[in-house]
Amino acid sequence: MSLPDTNVKDGDHIPTSAVDGKDRQTLRRLVIRIVKWTIGIVCSCAIFLFLGLFALIGYLSRDTCDEAIPSPVVRNLSGDTAEGQFEACTWIGTVINESVTLQIHRYPRLWPRKVLIDFESVGYSREPILRWIDEKTLSVDLGDVSWVSSRIEKAGDIKIVYSYRVVDKP
């Protein structure tokens, strides 16, 4: 029995299907490598764009409010304090936030500061007039305002009495 001749001699014909199979496999590997690199680059660019957009939004929405001098703090005998707040915020335009806050001091704990009412003064900015009627009643006089937010009538055991007049802006 003789073994088949495996030596290729000059002029012998090599089957093209074997060569085409190797070329196709090489081409397929090249295409897969190009697709992987393209997907990686696109994903990396998308991540960097997202992080850049996130940083831009963070920069634009930063706290741009300046707190002006609050109105004088009024204090009752228990140590509870109330004050008017004035805050000017600029971003695209200027917005002025006016509010009245109350902080209750009851031994042994200090309650967080609570916003009682937000409002907008009319005409020249006027500070709210705050005074304690007694230990459990706070009077808040806002004067002329163009609008007020919902207001808190009672905070803890303290009753809040408001007086203001809603008028149109000049």
Which of 94, 89, 91, 112 lies closest to 102, judged by CA? 112
Helix (H, G, I), strand (E, B) or coil at 58: helix
Tell the residue number behind the tokens 């809603």, with chain if given.
Answer: 166
* Type and span of the H or E element at 35: helix 16-60
Q: Which residues of 146-162 are buried (b: 16+ CB within 10 A; e: fewer)?
A: eeeeebeeebeebebeb
Amino acid in position 38: T
> Which pLDDT tens digits describe the chain residue by residue (170 residues)?
555 555 555 555 555 555 566 788 888 899 999 999 999 999 999 999 988 887 777 666 665 666 666 778 899 988 899 998 887 777 676 777 888 988 888 777 677 888 999 998 887 667 888 999 999 999 999 988 888 988 899 988 899 999 998 888 76
Residues 6+ apart with CB under 8 A from 24: none
Which of 86, 92, 163 lies closest to 124, judged by CA? 86
Give pTM, 2 decimals.
0.57
